[in-house]
Amino acid sequence: MSFGSVVRERRTALGIGLNDFAERLGISPAYWSRIERDHEKPPRNELIERAAAILGVRMDDLFVEAQRLPPDMQRDIGRVVLAYRRMRAAGKV
């Protein structure tokens, strides 16, 4: 399933209309409709986080559907890479 279809399925199961959902996200219904129909890429991280809260699903699950790492994991990976580079530069690796 795609990001858009997962979100649409959950939204409709909860009885949340497209216009109401888009309003809660602070975006246009037309834009969100394009996302749900896979005519747009998944939205920016902030909207994925808000959508997860509205839908009552784990944020990490929506990021996986969007084929992205959750922001906290992105930061952690960045820290690991930085530490590795420092160790390598110091000749410890």
**The pair of three-digit structure tokens given for residue 82, joined into one six-digit string:** 């930085």
Q: Give the model confidence (pLDDT) of 50-92 as tens digits.
A: 999 999 999 999 999 999 988 888 888 989 999 999 999 999 8
The enclosing domain of 54 has a CATH number of 1.10.260.40
Q: Is 35 exposed, middle or buried (0-12, 13-18, 19+ CB in 10 A)?
A: buried
Q: Tell me the residue range of the domain where 18 lies.
A: 3-68
Q: Is 70 exposed, middle or buried (0-12, 13-18, 19+ CB in 10 A)?
A: buried
pTM, rounded to two decimals? 0.80
29-36 and 3-13 helices, crossing angle to 10°: 120
Domain count, the chain: 1
78 lies in some domain: no
21 lies in some domain: yes
15 lies in some domain: yes
- Sign of the Cα torsion 84, 87, 89, 93 reads negative
40 lies in some domain: yes
37 lies in some domain: yes
17 lies in some domain: yes
pLDDT (average), residues 18-31: 98
